[in-house]
Amino acid sequence: MLFLAMGQSANYRAMGPWSRCVLNELMMQYRGNNNGDLSATRTMAKEWGIASDNTLRKALAELEAGGWIIQTRSSIFSRHGARCALYALSWFAIDECPGKDLEIGPTRAPPRTIRSLATSNSSSAENAHIPAQKMRT
Please provide the distance, in angstroms rounded to a whole number, between the alpha carbons at the two ends of the chain.
Answer: 52
**The model scores a pTM over 0.75:** yes
Say yes or no to pLDDT of 35 above 70. Answer: yes
Q: What is the pLDDT of residue 135?
A: 39
Distance CA 43, CA 38 (A): 14
Which one, of 90, 85, 78, lies nearest residue 102 by Cα? 85
For residues 59, 62, 68 and 74, what is the CA-based torsion angle, rounded to 10 degrees? 70
**Which element (helix H / strand E) includes 72?**
strand 69-73
Domains and CATH numbers, the chain: 4-118 (1.10.10)
